[in-house]
Homo-oligomer: A and B are copies of this chain.
Amino acid sequence: MSKKLTKRSEDYSKWYNELVVKADLAENAAVRGCMVIKPYGYAIWEKMQAELDKMFKATGHQNAYFPLFVPKSLFEAEEQNAEGFAKECAVVTHYRLKNNPDKKGQLIVDPEAELEEPLVVRPTSEAIIWNTYKNWIQSYRDLPIKINQWANVVRWEMRTRLFLRTAEFLWQEGHTAHATEAEAMEEARLMNQVYADFVENFMAIPVIQGLKSPSERFAGAVETFCIEALMQDSKALQAGTSHFLGQNFAHAFDVKFATKEGGLEHVWATSWGVSTRLMGALIMTHSDDNGLVLPPKLAPHQVVIVPIYKTDEERTAVAEKANAIKQELDQHNIRVHFDNRDNYKPGFKFNEYELKGVPLRIAIGPKDLEKDQVELARRDTLTKSFVPTAALTAEITQLLNTIQEALYKKAVDFRAAHTTSVATFEEFKTVLKEKGGFIAAHWDGTEATEEAIKKATKATIRCIPLEGDLEAGVCVFSGQPSKQRVLFAKAY
């Protein structure tokens, strides 16, 4: 715990990896590419889950649960989707182990227990869900269906990083069915907005809402909405996606409904998801060289109280005061932790909570008791002040809001300083090299140009902004006409 983090300026990637482990968020598991989400990391994820779940329910969605396994024949039904995920699928082929006849105490896969049909561990659940919806939908009266699922999914990625890209990750996936194209499109748009609201208001991370270019779309989608955030190292991170799936899955699984007018039509679909990847976005947006910085709304502990004492007598007196403060903060629904462990020194605790990003730290010693005050330290600014006990709750309540807003504003300012409009490809390359960030550039709309730019610079189209300015121009690469600027960046 005492060992310092690598500085961001020295090696951003190393800083990230160290922070995730040292702040007790997650660690690599014994299974290649998988992670263990540790209690502190999971507590933050639970806060995200609770808030998102509330937002999903408020917009008329219900939770349900569909199987982990997708039979191969269902998996391959929607061709685009199958193609997109086939190369990274964990496949269950057997259902039994048996004793190794050659080595006592060891097991081997029982060759006699091979499945007739291999099962794909879900990389996403459209196939299994639409095969189920087929039986649920007969008439317009069965629509819409608006279901969300909290689940684990597996994508056999070759290069993995904690939270950002892991073979198994946790997520939610919404899957809705609608009678009309307009309604499905509106749903996809709405859920992207819900994601934007959540990420901005709760995680204090500003995002750009946009559409993906065809090459970056979800496999099987007609249109993919997304929210894109900018990390401190000037790389973009896709924080959530919401797909308008058209009738692709309805065609693949033959899902039709009787319309009010007596016709028979294929159902329209959406799907949308955010994952534990958001933990990566959280870390890389706010944290600093001392460790994690948490927005108060997501912090498991918003305030920690560290007692300072030498004698047993002092310990008792300080603890009494600390407990009284804790009780009052509890009553105001402020999440406070009193760390009264006797086998760690205050300095050790200060470092630990700094590393873990607790927004506010109260220190109380014998002198503070005399003066009826406490020392209050802000994690985001690393500033300290003395606050009279009587004013403490009000001060903390206000500061938690202040910090939440300050983190958001800081990130907005950073993004503004790292978003550049360019007119030429030379300028594009210079900005990308010298400053990075979002580059707003005209694009001719072709996959060929997108691919050529990617090849030359490693930057990709992060999104076609929904609220982009629609002034026409010429493509920075091809000189062909363009309807609006799109956002390029190197991305996670």
- Give me the interface of A with B, judged by CB distance under 8 Å: 27, 29-31, 34-39, 42-43, 46, 62-72, 74-76, 79, 82, 86-99, 105-107, 109, 118-121, 128, 131-132, 141, 147, 151-152, 154, 156, 168, 170, 343
Cross-chain contact of A31 among B39, B86, B107, B128 (Cβ < 8 A): B128
- Beyond contacts A30-B128, A31-B71, A39-B63: 8 other A-B pairs, Cβ-Cβ < 8 A, are A29-B128, A31-B128, A65-B170, A76-B106, A76-B107, A91-B109, A94-B118, A152-B152
| Bound form: Cα–Cα A242–B131 in Å | 38
| Bound form: Cα–Cα A62–B24 in Å | 13
| Residues of chain B contacted by A27 (CB below 8 angstroms) | 132
Cross-chain contact of A96 among B65, B87, B141 (Cβ < 8 A): B87
| Residues of chain B contacted by A91 (CB below 8 angstroms) | 92-97, 109
Cross-chain contact of A97 among B42, B72, B95, B107 (Cβ < 8 A): B72
Judging by beta carbons under 8 Å apart, are B64 and A36 in contact? yes
Cross-chain contact of A141 among B76, B131, B147, B343 (Cβ < 8 A): B343
Chain B's nearest CB lies how many Å from the CB of A54? Answer: 12
Judging by beta carbons under 8 Å apart, are B39 and A147 in contact? yes
Judging by beta carbons under 8 Å apart, are A31 and B152 in contact? no
Known A-B contacts A72-B107, A106-B76; the reply to A62 vs B42 at CB < 8 A is: yes
| Residues of chain B contacted by A152 (CB below 8 angstroms) | 68, 151-152
Cross-chain contact of A86 among B30, B79, B92, B98 (Cβ < 8 A): B98
Judging by beta carbons under 8 Å apart, are A89 and B93 in contact? no
| Residues of chain B contacted by A72 (CB below 8 angstroms) | 97, 107
Judging by beta carbons under 8 Å apart, are A76 and B105 in contact? yes
| Bound form: Cα–Cα A120–B343 in Å | 41
| Residues of chain B contacted by A121 (CB below 8 angstroms) | 68, 92, 121
| Bound form: Cα–Cα A29–B151 in Å | 16
| Residues of chain B contacted by A131 (CB below 8 angstroms) | 30
| Residues of chain B contacted by A109 (CB below 8 angstroms) | 91, 93, 118
| Residues of chain B contacted by A43 (CB below 8 angstroms) | 62-63
In the A-B complex, the 7 residue pairs with the smallest Cβ-Cβ separation, listed nearest first, are A39-B62, A34-B67, A37-B65, A86-B97, A95-B156, A91-B94, A29-B67
Judging by beta carbons under 8 Å apart, are A90 and B82 in contact? no
| Residues of chain B contacted by A62 (CB below 8 angstroms) | 39, 42-43
Chain B's nearest CB lies how many Å from the CB of A15? Answer: 22
| Bound form: Cα–Cα A64–B24 in Å | 11
| Residues of chain B contacted by A105 (CB below 8 angstroms) | 76, 79
What are 14 inter-chain pairs, A to B, with CB distance below 8 A?
A29-B66, A31-B70, A34-B67, A35-B67, A36-B66, A39-B64, A43-B62, A69-B168, A76-B106, A87-B97, A88-B95, A109-B118, A121-B121, A151-B152
| Bound form: Cα–Cα A66–B28 in Å | 10
**A152 nearest CB neighbor, chain B only:** B68
Judging by beta carbons under 8 Å apart, are B132 and A68 in contact? no
| Residues of chain B contacted by A46 (CB below 8 angstroms) | 63
Judging by beta carbons under 8 Å apart, are A107 and B86 in contact? yes
